[in-house]
Structure 1
């Protein structure tokens, strides 16, 4: 267990203590309080954060991750309900009067330690194993050349019932895996691997489905004094069921759990909003795992800057700095997308700034010293690609580009006129803009920044309707770099030199 998660464990005990103090202040508990009381919501959210740490440590499709995260939030919420409900039964004395907090303090501490240390340790380890299996399940092939094989940790800590399942080898479609995919209990370290069907034959490998299911039943059977099977809850498949915890876990059976679940599901439908710079940075840390093409040298962080004269900047090594107003608009935009609402112009303008800086990080050669004009050429190429791929970026965030004018006229950047003039050049040359974009994008990623003039000019020359000399294209691009050239002046320049645009074969 690494230091980050250990710190979260310690913090959760403090949050649990605050929740119990708030419970005593109120003097009673109702499951609906989970929607309104900040101390309770903090306990839910921090419990979720612990389990989410296990989820995000594994690569998996967004749909799987979202499903597991929703399940983790529900589990954390019902766990919070269970401990608050149990604590609420201690509040009153025999006469119905509220006991002093000092009288309850020791009992509250015991409950806090039980739920938020002892139980949490086992639950976290289960979440780790469950999320790993969910990620693997998604990768397992449906090809009949392969089968799945149950494997234990192979040491003297393996319980006998699980050892009996070792080397069970069956097709992915076999009903055995619906109920007995690991983890099969608290602290279970077993796993399932994909193997070639023909490689594992003989007495050491059980391939009889009925016999395997009987062994699975035995491994998940422990009849209590009440006649109920205490281990039956572990008969599930995290990957196929898209859940982190067994659907029949005990917290869901506590009195008032249904009312708590209704309140929690409303929160799932409107998930925890991003509130801080760290929240935004963590969001894009996950985004980078699923979209590594944006960060050639890896993602590090998004942070605030107070530097004057910029909306943001990057070191091209995974760190992006943004002005406060830009970062706040990005945060608001992500929350808007989470709610399923349409993003505003201001939010999309801020996303445009971030997207521009992300494209700098996509460049493979890395940063080099550039002249003033060299910097302008590089920024022209970068902004041209960034604004023309903004719609795709918004979709990757889970939203849509509502303000398409940002792809042709982004006035919050000093590079706007340069890019609009390059757009004029594309149109005047009757070049295929889609193909020009494709070439410039490839060059932006693969070529050194000092080579971007070649990339921009060759893209025009190659995809123009006219036969344009490369030096002519370079000259027109160089003209876009002049600080005081207006769009009308640039258009006049093109018209004045239209004789340089010769029909191919003419």
Structure 2
């Protein structure tokens, strides 16, 4: 569940919001699919987020710069606990501080930014993966998805805003790359719809998917070298996949 707050926040996605600052709040019913998704992940030490690529993050839990098994495992446990108990970012930060102190971890960035990235990215992708499982179970009676953009941001991503209201069949290939979240700090989501919903609210299935030209972006690898990748316009490098989707192999996951 997302809740909006009025505190200004600088997001990793480049958006600056006065409202809302998205936060995960407790659910009346535990998000079982999202919890299981996180629990099944294997903790993997990495130097940078590019050590693993796209779908590989669906089966591996990582924290960029967490280079020991015990450190990554403790963060994995903390994130699982946070989603099981419906913790907020502020509650998670207590575990973050404890883990940092225990392991003497020296991380990049400020405490506020670093803890938010770990919490926000894992929660957003877990809920998205769990939601996809639910979508698949009901797609016979709810065969459409509508892209939704979280309103109220001072400087939202214009292209994400332009996708708001796009309605396409669940099986449309556009969702393979555009099923949200679509970047750091992105809190867009997909809403499933039935034919009755279309009639009730006057919605119409989009004639075509929004244009998705590929653009070249540069990412830094763990050895300091730069790599050029192609991603759909409006999607951050490493996010052009559906959370929960598993790669056929590690080699496939690293292909561009």
- When normalised by structure 2's length, the TM-score is 0.48
Between Structure 1 and Structure 2, which shows a larger proportion of helix residues? 1
Q: If each structure's strand is expressed as a fraction of its own residues, which one has the higher value?
A: 2
Q: Give 1 or 2 for the bigger CA radius of gyration.
A: 1
TM-score, length basis structure 1: 0.26
Higher relative contact order (CA 8 A, sep 6+): 2
